Structure 1
């Protein structure tokens, strides 16, 4: 029985496995999925998790619960030798081992792309994982608690200053959602006012959210300005050492919460493979999602999602390739599963083609922006559209119901603004009071 190895359990990998389970006949192939995490993260919900609008566990989808016939291995793939069709698997505990396969599906996704700016690696936090979103939420809430006990001055300003680097969708949504959370926190801290909080977004380009029209992006800028959130366009971060930010404009800021959302890059796991990559480190692919090199199709090698340079046949991609977003990753995963099954049965695979349906952003409770072609919606209707779309788009009905339950609960009971940052050192409370041997 042929073995299909899926490297990466994000959008593309999860949906590939899910659809292979549906379309493969019993005994037709064994499917193995390897990922360091035991779940798929629904990344469009990370800003809402950071804002406390969604319970963190509800924004992830368990591999083992929903992939019933797939063999799930929670471990890191440190290398793939396609010439011998073996992968090197490194579990968190136990010995490293080799896994043979007949077909490999590379869907390892992307990681945050950073630049060698002093201090960024030590001071900033990304917004690519559920753990990062939770840490951001807890940091902001804890900083309000601390600031409420301080007199006005530099130390309090530092705690109440939030800086987001990157004005794409991820950056703007994170920035706006955190502004919404901060406004809610002010009601719990009467010692503070909105003038005590400082929100800054740094964007190197001359505009934000290139996925929407200039008119829509201007509406977002105006909305943020009305909510005391400042966007610095055509500005670069030059240093962030010890939380002291230097900008290319000559301005400087002090912040205890710096969030980096300025782009992504293909997962570096590809460096440990003999598969062909392009100049940006992505796997070279043709429209049917098979990996290619200078000689044509690489036999039994497939790819999809952020890690792949898949030609965009709709003509709407950047540089002729599909942009790295959830819309493409989900649909590519489904098409890849169909194509793989077709090849196993001696049939021809079909090309992947998808025309962008538009873009929708949540900008905090009651605010949103939607763009599809020249049609745009902003404000409250767009916020409803954002929640409606993503509420349906997150995979599996039990996840959809949990997320909608969060929204309904928050509407009735209010946002849950509790920080659980003490979870990072769970033994500290016990150890503080634990009896120890004398002497």
Structure 2
């Protein structure tokens, strides 16, 4: 009988595992099912460009049903796993929860924003982990320009609307603040009522440097470059409070900010701690270099696999990540997903599995239109050509040629027409205008 393979989570690692399995499995060899509440995989490195209006939101996601033709898709969440029984509890988006029996389980649930109990963050900040968040940030920024343009210069509310705060100085934070600063600068041409000096951008980083993935020299260049462009970077600084948008920093500085974006870390989904899978000290599923789930003692669990941000996989490369584990990024998730599929097929056929040993492809970041950085070993490239490298790398990395054409086509269109500045915040309350004028029964 065909083996049942259950993939939990349809992000990078889950999507690439299923995509590769469809190419490798023989007819009738296995049945693959993927469970995710969303019908698409979001290409996360594009989120800052989506927030800055450089990429259309739908072009930065990949529809699973279009590209996974032989994989069963269930719209829902896995809310329980009993690997001892080889069953998972699936709670669909609509309907009652049910148990699903499997032979192999692939845990690729990805990560979510990790926040700290700072007053005001849960109520006022927004993350940069989903396509929906990136769209909301873009619409909020444009909407704030529209609102501020109608207010008197020098008013406190106008200053608040034109002040943006990004917390976290890793790649996600730097790319987000840089792209938003670039976008805001381009918006000024459409809003002559607003001066450049009125638009204020703050980056708050608790460490003494930004972007630990690149050299200190490259990181220092980014700080100087973004400072020159109008970003105020606070190093060795923590956010103390954000109640009602009133920012308080550990240095004592205070100001008001209407848009607060949190990018200071990620964590695995908490529900995994309630399963019988071996979990590491920080909530990750314990994995081995072969991407099998193992106990703390290293004993492999039959038919259990993991990859991506949710996993704690030893980094056996010559330059291992912090703590000796693969860091949570797209580069690892994509490569691990492809190898994981090969290892599952090899296991089904009684063949040997391979270890995940990667060669670092370097780090590349876009810092707004026409500027970026690229670092590979001691070699670093900065400025326009690094920005081109960033666009070509990620444009070619997004899965499927259908998506690549859409992304590159959008960039070409923006080159000639500029970024679209239309604000569609109203989509967040799509029934508001209908409800306002809808007739209701009397009495």
Give the structure-1-normalised TM-score.
0.99
- Paired with 1:13 and 1:279, the residues of 2 have a C-alpha distance of 23
SS in 2 for 1:313: coil
Instruction: State the partner residue of 1:74.
Output: 75
CA RMSD of aligned residues (A): 0.8
Divergent runs of 4+, >4 A: none
1:176 to 167, 175, 178: 178
CA contact (8 A) 1:108 1:269 kept: no
Cα displacement (A) at 1:355: 1.9
Deviation at 1:266, TM superposition (A): 1.2
CA positional deviation for 1:315: 3.4
**1:84–1:160 Cα change, 3 Å:** same
Aligned residues: 439
Which of 311, 320, 326 is residue 322 of structure 1 equivalent to?
A: 326
Q: How does 1:29-428 map to 2 (within 5 A)?
A: 29-151=30-152, 152-293=154-295, 294=297, 296-316=299-319, 317-428=321-432
CA deviations over 1:323-372 (Å, ceiling 9, x no partner): 10011100000000000000100111110110211100001001101000
Pairwise CA distance, 1:295? 6.0
TM-superposed deviation, 1:269: 2.9
Identify the residue that residue 10 of structure 2 maps to in structure 1. 9
Unaligned regions of 5+ residues in structure 2, if any? none
SS at match of 2:441: coil
Shift of 1:267: 1.7
CA contact (8 A) 1:200 1:232 kept: yes
Secondary structure of the corresponding residue to residue 182 of structure 1: helix
Q: 3-state DSSP class of the match of 1:353? A: coil
1:257-309 per-residue CA deviation (whole Å, 9 max, x = no partner) reads 00000011112231231000110111111100001113611111000000111
For residues 243 and 298 of structure 1, the distance between their equivalents in structure 2, rounded to whole angstroms, comes to 48
Q: CA deviation at 1:435?
A: 2.4
Given that 1:77 and 1:269 are in contact with CA atoms closer than 8 Å, whether structure 2 keeps it comes out as no
Verify the 8 A CA contact 2:39 2:75 in the aligned structure 1.
yes
Q: Distance in 2 between matches of 1:59 and 1:156?
A: 32
2:17 and 2:438 map into 1 onto residues whose CA distance is: 49
Say which SS state the counterpart of residue 132 (structure 1) adopts: helix
Any idea what the Cα deviations from partners look like across 1:112-134, whole Å, max 9, x if unmatched?
01101111111100000000000
TM-fit CA distance, 1:434:
2.0
Contact 1:305 1:333 in 2 (8 A): yes
Deviates more, 1:22-31 or 1:91-100: 91-100
User: Unpaired segments of 5 or more residues in structure 1?
Assistant: none
Pairing 1:23-34 to 2, within 5 Å after superposition: 23-34=24-35
Between 1:133-142 and 1:90-99, the stretch displaced more is 90-99
**Cα separation, 2, equivalents of 1:312 and 1:112:** 23
1:107/1:305 contact within 8 Å kept: yes
Secondary structure at the aligned position of 2:422 is classed as coil
Deviation of 1:438 after TM superposition, in Å, equals 3.4
Shift, 1:419, TM fit:
1.1
Q: CA deviation at 1:216?
A: 0.7
- Residues in 1 aligned to 2:438 and 2:119: alpha-carbon distance in whole angstroms: 41
Residue aligning to 2:442 = 438
What SS does the corresponding residue of 1:99 show, helix, strand or coil?
Answer: strand
User: Tell me, what secondary structure is at the counterpart of 1:209?
Assistant: coil
Contact 2:273–2:279 under 8 Å retained in 1: no
Distance 1:147 1:295 in 2: 58
Query: Does the 8 Å contact 1:125/1:258 carry over to 2?
Result: yes
Q: How far apart, in 2, do the equivalents of 1:35 and 1:271 lie?
A: 19
TM-score normalized by the length of structure 2: 0.98
Looking at structure 2, the residues matched to 153 and 120 of structure 1 have their Cα atoms a distance apart, in angstroms, of 25
Alpha-carbon offset, residue 428 of structure 1: 1.1
8 Å CA contact retained: 1:288, 1:349: yes
Distance 2:274 2:4 in 1: 21
Take 1:80 and 1:104, find their aligned partners in 2: how far apart are those partners? 9
